[in-house]
Amino acid sequence: MEDMADEALPAAARPRDDRPLPRAARWWAALAGVLTGGAGLGAALATTSLLGERLSPVNAVSETVIEYTPGKVAHLLVSIVGQNDKPLLRAGTVIGLVALSAVAGRVGLRSVLRGQAVFLAMAVLAGLCVLDRRGADTASLLPVVVGLVVWLVALPMLLEPLRGAPAAQAGDDAARRTFGRRAVIVTVLGAGAGALGGVFGRKRREVERDIAALDLPVTKGTVPAGADLDLEDLAPWRTPNEDFYLIDTALALPAIRTQDWSLRIHGMVDKEIRLSYDDLRARQLTEAWVTLCCVSNRVGGELVGNAHWSGVRIADLLREAGVQDGADAVLQTSEDGWTCGTPIEALTDDRDALLAIAMNGKPLPVEHGFPVRMVVPGLYGFVSATKWVVDLKVTRFSEFDAFWTERGWAEQCSIKTQSRIDVPRGNHRVDSGKVTVAGVAWAQHLGIDKVEVQVDGEAWQEVELARVPSLDTWVQWHGEVDVDPGVHRLAVRATDKSGETQTSVRTDVVPDGASGWHSIEFTAE
Ligand SMILES: Nc1nc2c(c(=O)[nH]1)N[C@H]1C(S)=C(S)[C@@H](COP(=O)(O)O)O[C@H]1N2
Ligand SMILES: [Mo]
């Protein structure tokens, strides 16, 4: 009110506002804003943990940024920053918060109400992002509200000593001491709240404890004799869970307790089905070796892994639900709101498309989709492998655009036949003469027929394939090439069991996966 009154006065009657503020005062005010911003953030984080919400407001804003960033831009950015995309995004959001808080402080030096208005605007923005996330309800707004209250209270507290006398101006020791004292209080309370949230935020730990206590009727699977050549530098045939590549858009992983999980199968079905975790576990379990692969895997890349999966065949569930004529897709939704669409065909034919509950004999790790995810042999992850899956809608492709399809990736596509050189590593030195070469090749659900290597553009020579139990996994290959001292280029190409040989034409990963031959350089001496 006081500020409004100030505005209403003729210019001559506003001695304080007309005097240019000392530079130092502006910096102190910006600091007051930043401390206020931090304290509100601490309070919001604590509230997030206490409520057991998946997303803090910072993560909700970051996830919304991902959601609304055009596919091309996202792809470009991720290709620049790689696996650091999420920490960088989160850092960016926090930097934005700090910058706006500083602005609020500076604006607040002249008019506290306006400074508070900046914080209000920030809270509204954060609130909209929170509400935009899947599963958000009114309670999800509480962290933002608590943060806002802290902002609105702390800002005038910190600005008051700065505003009184032309702030922190040399000489006004009492004001400076008051500011210092209040700054410490606000900071300690904010940081304390944040730390407390860390202590009491038990959701993820509860889930980890559930996982440790789970006793599933599953096996780890034995690596079939002859499948693993066990060569140094060659990717092991079974990828251990902790080495398995990770791809998802979740800024904070869903922490779902088994008793809170359920799956709804609905849409173009005769009978809707709802399954609990115990329902699923009590059913006949199927186990299969399946190699999963990401559409964003570049030629020679590492976004591919092979595991022994245990789960329930989706075909059986869909048969029970009764798929109606005309349906051609199953739209999957995860707890965090990510979606993908899979052809009904791939889920109902004889392949082992699974609602998986275990990976290499252990309950799914949280980051790989606990408690339940999809695994479909032959299809890239972005069109089939929904982690934290909670909803299956039988429908038509013409009725929806899934997450990545909206962003310029294909609507439907199967995995492109690929091969990779693991031995020797690129740019390594080896002894000249006979050199061991080895790697992996995959054409899930088609199978690999042969692999060939080529040195320095000369004739292709076939190499040996290890044994595999089915068409759905990668296969290790190995051979020997004879080289003179010097630098050499080694290339590899695979032919799948449909008779198709990998094309040399290199394409980008967008829209439906990279093609082209992997090649490396090595030095023989
Ligand atoms: N909920 C959810 N599931 C998801 C994704 C995602 O972003 N969110 N990414 C998909 C993609 S693109 C791939 S390649 C696989 C990766 O599975 P992984 O992280 O277990 O290796 O998960 C799929 N399932
Ligand atoms: Mo992917």
Residue 160 confidence (pLDDT) above 60: yes
Taking a C-beta distance cutoff of 8 angstroms, is the pair 374, 314 a contact? yes
Residue 244 confidence (pLDDT) above 60: yes
Atom number of ligand 1 nearest to Cα 403: 7
Residue 81 confidence (pLDDT) above 90: no
| Closest by CA position to 517, among listed 299, 212, 287, 326 | 299
Rounded to the nearest angstrom, the distance between the alpha carbon of 19 and the centre of ligand 1 is 59
Q: Is 92 helix (H, G, I), strand (E, B) or coil?
A: helix
Q: Which residue has the higher pLDDT, 194 or 244?
A: 244
Banded pLDDT at 171 (limits 50, 70, 90) = low
Rounded to the nearest angstrom, the distance between the alpha carbon of 52 and the centre of ligand 2 is 28
336 CB within 6 A, ligand 1: yes
Taking a C-beta distance cutoff of 8 angstroms, is the pair 182, 161 a contact? yes
Rounded to the nearest angstrom, the distance between the alpha carbon of 355 and the centre of ligand 1 is 14
Report the pLDDT value the prediction gives residue 167, as an integer from 0 to 100: 44
400's tokens: 């929806």
Report the pLDDT value the prediction gives residue 100, as an integer from 0 to 100: 98
Atom number of ligand 1 nearest to Cα 246: 19
Rounded to the nearest angstrom, the distance between the alpha carbon of 299 and the centre of ligand 1 is 19
Alpha carbon separation from 243 to 278, 304, 350 (Å, rounded): 29, 10, 29
Report the pLDDT value the prediction gives residue 20, as an integer from 0 to 100: 66
Site to substitute for ligand 1 among 63, 85, 293, 294, most atoms within 8 A of C-beta: 294
Report the pLDDT value the prediction gives residue 145, as an integer from 0 to 100: 98
Report the pLDDT value the prediction gives residue 165, as an integer from 0 to 100: 55
Report the pLDDT value the prediction gives residue 84, as an integer from 0 to 100: 85
Site to substitute for ligand 1 among 370, 382, 509, most atoms within 8 A of C-beta: 382
Rounded mean pLDDT of 363-371?
98
247 CB within 6 A, ligand 1: yes
Residue whose CA is at the smallest distance from ligand 1 atom 1: 387
Evaluate the omega torsion of the peptide bond into residue 511 and state whether it is cis, within 30 degrees of 0. yes
How far from chain centre, in Å, is Cα 426? 29
Residue 107 confidence (pLDDT) above 50: yes
Question: How far apart, in whole angstroms, are the C-alpha atoms of residue 511 and residue 411?
Answer: 9
246 CB within 6 A, ligand 1: yes
What is the helix, strand, coil percentage profile of the chain, to 5?
Answer: 40, 25, 35
Report the pLDDT value the prediction gives residue 22, as an integer from 0 to 100: 76
Burial of 293 (0-12, 13-18, 19+ CB in 10 A): buried
Rounded to the nearest angstrom, the distance between the alpha carbon of 29 and the centre of ligand 2 is 46
Q: pLDDT, tens digit, for every residue of 443-495?
A: 999 999 999 999 999 999 999 999 999 999 999 999 999 999 999 999 999 99
Residue whose CA is at the smallest distance from ligand 1 atom 6: 248
Residue 419 confidence (pLDDT) above 60: yes
| Closest by CA position to 42, among listed 29, 28, 56 | 56
Residue whose CA is at the smallest distance from ligand 1 atom 24: 386
Q: What percent of the chain has pLDDT over 70?
A: 94
Banded pLDDT at 429 (limits 50, 70, 90) = very high
Average pLDDT, the chain: 93
Residue 267 confidence (pLDDT) above 70: yes
Give the CA-trace dihedral at 400, 403, 406, 408, to 10 degrees.
-130
**Sole residue written with tokens 């892994």:** 305
Report the pLDDT value the prediction gives residue 201, as an integer from 0 to 100: 67
Residue 12 confidence (pLDDT) above 50: no
Report the pLDDT value the prediction gives residue 25, as an integer from 0 to 100: 86
Report the pLDDT value the prediction gives residue 6, as an integer from 0 to 100: 44
Atom number of ligand 1 nearest to Cα 245: 21
Ligand nearest to the CA of 305: 1
294 CB within 6 A, ligand 1: yes
Banded pLDDT at 309 (limits 50, 70, 90) = very high
Rounded to the nearest angstrom, the distance between the alpha carbon of 18 and the centre of ligand 2 is 59
488 CB within 6 A, ligand 1: no
Neighbours of ion ligand 2 (CB under 5 A): 247, 294, 381-382
Residue 8 confidence (pLDDT) above 50: no
Ligand nearest to the CA of 304: 1
How far from chain centre, in Å, is Cα 485? 45
Question: How far apart, in whole angstroms, are the C-alpha atoms of residue 263 and residue 246?
Answer: 23
386 CB within 6 A, ligand 1: yes
Atom number of ligand 1 nearest to Cα 335: 1
